[in-house]
């Protein structure tokens, strides 16, 4: 952390619009910018011997206008992210390969999960170690959900923590998130960690308000 590197592509400094993602090893950066065909698009740049590659557009095949909150798979081959027709509105979850191929929609906000009231959809996805997906669902309050491999319906991880958002998954499967509703927390977003099944939760950052743009998941 003592020696910063300014990432430049084609001699120009990248000015991302919000949340970015860095792959393990630092060789790949996925960032959000507004100079693509949509309101917000995802781009990838990779480390070269001579610097960093020309940004590669990842969301050209998307039917949506907004793409944000990227996270990179453990093998560095896929990116998962928020997608929708407006910034942080009725968001869906999309995935694309880091070369821009195989764009697909994972979940939409058209139908809330069974028994859930209407809400604003899905946000802040991240990959679990097995390749499944952990994400925030905003259905009558923000909670953490899990979409198992080959499943079409997410399941809630722990409904006790309402206003629990922006999950990141650690290499051992534990889920780190921002919790807003702790009693006597003065409305702070505090960093919480719990097991993948929602058990053995604990606060690791208390009485400090973290901006809920996201925690910053490692690749």
DSSP state, residue 67? E
Whether the predicted pLDDT of 219 surpasses 60: no
Per the prediction, the chain carries an average pLDDT of 90
Q: What is the pLDDT of residue 194?
A: 96
pLDDT above 70 coverage of the chain, percent = 98
d(CA 128, CA 125): 10
Greatest CA span in the chain, whole angstroms? 54
78-92 burial code (b ≥16 CB/10 A, e <16): bbbbbbbeeeeebbb
Find the range with the poorest average confidence among 34-43, 64-73, 84-93, 142-151.
84-93
Q: Are 161 and 192 in contact (CB under 8 A)?
A: yes
Q: Which residue has the tokens 């995935």?
A: 95
**Mean pLDDT, range 133-140, rounded to an integer:** 92
Q: What are the tens digits of pLDDT across the range 152-210?
A: 899 999 888 888 999 999 999 999 999 988 887 778 899 999 999 999 999 998 888 88
Q: What are the tens digits of pLDDT across the range 68-95?
A: 999 999 999 999 999 999 877 778 999 9
Confidence of residue 214 (pLDDT cuts 50, 70, 90): confident
pLDDT above 90 coverage of the chain, percent = 62
Which of 67, 128, 130, 147 has the alpha carbon at shortest distance from 100? 67
Q: Which residue has the higher pLDDT, 165 or 115?
A: 165
Alpha carbons within 13 A on the beta-carbon side of 208:
7
Q: What is the pLDDT of residue 120?
A: 81
């Amino acid at each position: 952390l003592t020696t910063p590197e300014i990432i430049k592509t084609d001699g120009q400094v990248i000015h991302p619009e919000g949340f970015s993602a860095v792959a393990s090893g630092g060789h790949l950066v996925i960032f959000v910018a507004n100079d693509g065909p949509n309101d917000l698009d995802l781009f990838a740049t990779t480390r070269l011997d001579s610097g960093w590659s020309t940004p590669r557009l990842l969301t050209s095949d998307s039917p949506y206008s907004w793409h944000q909150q990227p996270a990179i798979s453990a093998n560095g081959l896929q990116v998962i992210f928020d997608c929708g027709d407006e910034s942080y509105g009725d968001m869906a979850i999309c995935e694309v390969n880091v070369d821009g191929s195989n764009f697909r929609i994972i979940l939409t906000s058209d139908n809330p999960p069974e028994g859930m009231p209407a809400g604003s959809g899905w946000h802040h996805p991240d990959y679990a170690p097995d390749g499944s997906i952990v994400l925030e669902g905003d259905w009558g309050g923000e909670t953490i959900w899990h979409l198992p491999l080959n499943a079409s319906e997410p399941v809630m991880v722990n409904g006790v923590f309402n206003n629990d958002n922006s999950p990141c998954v650690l290499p051992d499967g534990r889920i780190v998130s921002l919790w807003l509703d702790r009693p006597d927390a003065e409305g702070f977003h505090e960093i919480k960690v719990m097991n993948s099944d929602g058990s053995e939760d604990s606060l690791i950052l208390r009485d400090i308000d973290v901006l809920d743009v996201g925690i910053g998941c490692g690749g």
